[in-house]
Amino acid sequence: MAQGIPDEVMMNTSLIKDLADVAKDSALLQGVLMRIEETPNASELVTYAPFTLFPTPVPKDVFLQALAVQTYYNTLVDQISRDTDFLRDALASTIAVDDFTARLFRIHEQILKEGRSQSIVLGLNRSDYMLDQREDGTSSLKQIEINTFAASFGGLSSRTPDVHRHILKVAGRLEESQRILDNNPAAGLAGAVAKAWELYGSERAVIMFLVEESQRNIFDQRYIENELWKRNIPTIRKRFDDVCKTGSLDQDKRLFVDGLEVAVVYFRNGYMPQNYVSEQTWDARLLMERSLAVKCPDISTHLAGTKKVQQVLARPGVLERFFPDQPQVVEQIRATFAGLYTLDMGPEGDKTVAMALAAPDRFVLKPQREGGGNNIYGSEICQVLEGMNESTERMAFILMDKIHPAPAHNFLLRRDAPLQISNCLSELGVFGAYVRQGKDMVMNECVGHLLRTKSSEHSDGGVAAGVAVLDNPLLV
Q: Which residues are catalytic?
A: 126, 145, 147, 152, 307, 366, 370-371, 452
Rounded CA-CA distance 323/201 in Å is 32
Crossing angle of helices 160-170/13-30, nearest 10°?
A: 150
8-state DSSP, 222:
H
304, 101 in Cβ contact below 8 A?
no
Q: Which residues contact 324 (CB under 8 A, 6 or more apart)?
A: none
C-alpha span between 27 and 29 (Å, rounded): 5
Q: Say if CB 457 and CB 95 are below 8 A apart.
A: no
147 is annotated as contributing to ligand binding: yes
Q: Is the peptide bond between 57 and the residue preceding it cis, with omega within 30 degrees of 0? A: no
CA distance 249 to 245: 13
Say if residue 371 carries a ligand binding annotation. Answer: yes
Which of 12, 121, 123, 2 minimizes the C-alpha distance to 421?
Answer: 12
* Contact between residue 332 and residue 68 where contact means Cβ atoms under 8 Å apart: yes
Q: Which residues of 200-234 are buried (b: 16+ CB within 10 A; e: fewer)?
A: beeeebbbbbbbbeebebbbbbbbbbebbeeeebb
Q: Is 361 marked within a binding site?
A: no
349 labeled part of a ligand binding site: no
Pairwise CA distance, residues 361 & 380, whole Å: 10
369 is in an annotated binding site: yes
Instruction: State in Å, rounded, how far the first CA of the chain is from the last one.
Output: 12
**Residue 454, marked binder:** yes
Q: Is 372 annotated as a binding residue?
A: yes
Spatial separation of the C-alpha atoms in residues 198 and 245, rounded to whole Å: 28
Q: Is 21 helix (H, G, I), strand (E, B) or coil?
A: helix
Please check if 12 is assigned to a binding site.
Answer: no
Q: Is 254 annotated as a binding residue?
A: no
Backbone angle region of 172, left / alpha / beta, with phi > 0 → left and psi within -120 to 50 → alpha: left
On whether 8 is known to bind a ligand per the annotation, the reply is: no
Binding site annotation covers 230?
no
Looking only at the bridges linking them, the beta strands covering 440-455 and 260-267 are unpaired
The answer to the question of whether 275 is labelled as a binding residue is: no
- Give every strand in the sheet of 397-401, ordered side by side: 340-342, 397-401, 363-367, 376-377
The answer to whether 215 is a known ligand-binding residue is no
Tell me if 253 is assigned to a ligand binding site. Answer: no
Q: 460 among the known binding-site residues?
A: yes
- Please tell me whether 452 is known to bind a ligand: yes
Taking each helix axis from N to C terminus, what angle separates 99-114 and 279-290, rounded to the nearest 10 degrees?
A: 30
3-state secondary structure of 444: strand
Q: Which residues are annotated as a binding site for ATP?
A: 145, 307, 366-375, 377, 400-403, 427, 452, 454, 460
Q: Which residues are annotated as a binding site for Mg(2+)?
A: 145, 147, 370
Q: Which residues are annotated as a binding site for substrate?
A: 126, 221
Q: Which residues are annotated as a binding site?
A: 126, 145, 147, 221, 307, 366-375, 377, 400-403, 427, 452, 454, 460
